[in-house]
Amino acid sequence: MTGKEYQYIRKFNKVSQIDVAKKLGLKSNYAISMIEKEELVAERLIQALSDLTGISVKNLLDDQWVAGYCEKIPENYKKPKFFRSKSIWL
């Protein structure tokens, strides 16, 4: 699973980065935000996402299942939350 796919599934299931960080015993969500930019996500993070969303680890580790699930996620969950137009800064 890629970091982007992890982020899409996390956002769609309304799980915050703070919730994932707390599940892993971290104090800050910074590590989670950096991991979501990586090419591959560690199995420990996938296990935490599974626990928080109720999706089985087996499904989250299956690349085909994850790709199919991500295709069903609406586009508004895949866009950045805080988008600023360049015209604001002109």
Which band of pLDDT confidence, cut at 50, 70 and 90, is reported for residue 85?
low
Within a 10 A sphere around the Cβ of 44, how many other Cβ atoms?
Answer: 9
Which band of pLDDT confidence, cut at 50, 70 and 90, is reported for residue 45?
very high
Give the rounded percent of residues in the chain with a pLDDT score beyond 90. 73
Residues 13-22: tens digit of each pLDDT: 999 999 999 9
**Residue 52 structure tokens:** 């928080």
Check if the beta carbon of residue 7 is closer than 8 Å to that of residue 36. yes
Residue closest to 76 by CA, chosen among 4, 15, 12, 3: 12
Q: What's the CA gap between 57 and 50, in Å, rounded?
A: 6
Q: What's the CA gap between 1 and 12, in Å, rounded?
A: 16
| CATH class of this structure's domain 3-89 | mainly alpha
Residues 9-44: tens digit of each pLDDT: 999 999 999 999 999 999 988 999 999 999 999 999
**Residue 50 structure tokens:** 């599974």
Q: Does the pLDDT at position 90 exceed 80?
A: no
